Amino acid sequence: MLHCNAFSMTMNINVKLRLEDDTKMANRKYFRSLVGGLNYLSHSKPDIAYSVNVISKFMHNPSMQHLGIAKRILCYVAGIVGHGIWYSKVSNIKLFGYTDSD
């Protein structure tokens, strides 16, 4: 996953995940490890928290579709690796934040 194409969104909002879909089962141990790492990462990157929560619901019975979405979240994280907040020792720093009301 080092050279994956970065995505602008963690997951497609129109995709409805189901427990039983038409894809084969994914490796449970690998999926649980991946989602556990994403869950830990969501503490410092809260924008992935919703997507990680959605795929966490399928930890006991993951399909290849669920694994694909987990990998898509990884590709999203690869694209935003340079984003973040930098804290300085300087006391006169001004931090501005903007949000969309939607």
What confidence tens digit (pLDDT) does each residue in 72-86 have?
999 998 888 877 766
**Phi and psi, residue 63, nearest 5°:** -105, 175
pTM for the predicted model, two decimal places: 0.75
- Indicate the burial class of 75 (C-beta count within 10 angstroms; 0-12, 13-18, 19 or more): middle
Q: Which domain holds residue 71?
A: 1-102
What confidence tens digit (pLDDT) does each residue in 29-83 have?
999 999 999 999 988 888 899 999 999 999 999 999 999 999 999 999 888 887 7
* Total domains, the chain: 1
